[in-house]
């Protein structure tokens, strides 16, 4: 048997006997999310507490492309902050540098915005333009802090009424049980369309001026992951826009 052929045969037999290298397992990260129903932006609510909506789809797309595994940890809003700051979760969504800025620890890195939205106070059309002092009962989604109205609350000029979800808050406003309802206009208009009532509530800028706000993802422990998300948002701008179009943002 020629020596060269024998060498090839032995090499082939050796290669066949060596087991293939195991694929490197996906790195798992724990994403802290709020137990708030704010669909279609995000929602984690009874009965199953499954995280869903635009944010879930966007983060899942990022994880798939970056070969990561994200586990969503649903927590009450105030508890989420403490768990996060104490290292109990790796990432948090939503977050914003302006929220609770005085009490946050140093070293939080924020991603580029995952969504731009406009916070609004919604009223019945016939109440548009009425004096500010006539709006005394303000509606909010349970879990949200009405910090923009803290002075009015402290002075007794307004009272806060909560609903468990956007649909419930819209019903309260349409029925006159609250004078104005606080919601991102994207959330409000989505649910009004779903209920077949587009235009049934309108924005009252005298109660809350309309300006852009932003939702970010943040991390204390994994700044490199935030940078990878930033790169993904730029690289996949068309896919991100397609998701926003899907939800009507």
Q: What is the DSSP string of 114-176?
A: SEEEEEEEEE-GGGTT--GGG--EEEEETT---GGGHHHHHTTS-EEEEESSHHHHHHHHHTT
The 10s digit of each residue's pLDDT in 92-125 is 999 999 998 888 999 999 999 999 999 999 999 9
pLDDT of the residue at 10? 44
pLDDT of the residue at 110? 98
The fraction of the chain above a pLDDT of 90, given in percent, is 79
The 10s digit of each residue's pLDDT in 143-178 is 888 888 999 999 999 999 999 999 999 999 999 999
CA distance 75 to 90: 14
Question: Mean pLDDT, the chain, as a whole number?
Answer: 90
User: Which domains can be identified in the chain, with CATH numbers?
Assistant: 27-115+213-246 (3.40.190.10), 117-203 (3.40.190.10)
Average pLDDT over residues 190-214: 94
43-47, 49-53, 240-244: which range is least confident on average? 43-47
Indicate if the pLDDT at residue 8 is higher than 80. Answer: no
């Amino acid at each position: 048997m020629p020596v060269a052929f024998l060498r090839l045969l032995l090499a082939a037999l050796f290669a066949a006997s060596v087991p293939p290298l195991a694929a490197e397992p996906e790195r798992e990260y724990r994403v802290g999310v709020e137990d708030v129903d704010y669909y279609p932006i995000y929602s984690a609510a009874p009965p199953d507490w499954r995280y869903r909506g635009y944010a879930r789809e966007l983060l899942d797309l990022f994880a798939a492309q970056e070969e990561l595994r994200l586990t969503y940890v649903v927590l009450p809003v105030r508890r989420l902050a403490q768990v996060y700051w104490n290292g109990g979760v790796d990432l948090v969504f939503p977050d914003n540098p302006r929220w609770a800025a005085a009490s946050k620890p140093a070293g939080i890195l924020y991603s580029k915005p995952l969504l731009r939205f406009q916070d609004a106070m919604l009223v019945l059309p016939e109440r548009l333009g009425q004096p500010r002092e006539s709006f005394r009962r303000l509606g909010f989604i349970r879990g949200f802090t009405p910090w923009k109205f803290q002075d009015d609350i402290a002075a007794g000029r307004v009272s806060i009424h909560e609903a468990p979800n956007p649909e419930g808050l819209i019903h309260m406003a349409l029925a006159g049980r609250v004078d104005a309802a606080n919601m991102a206009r994207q959330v409000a208009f989505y649910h009004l369309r779903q209920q077949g009532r587009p235009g049934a509530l309108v924005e009252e800028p005298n109660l809350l001026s309309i300006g852009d706000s932003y939702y970010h993802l943040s991390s204390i422990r994994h700044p490199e992951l935030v940078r990878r998300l930033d790169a993904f948002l730029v690289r996949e701008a068309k896919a991100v826009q397609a998701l926003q179009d899907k939800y009507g943002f």
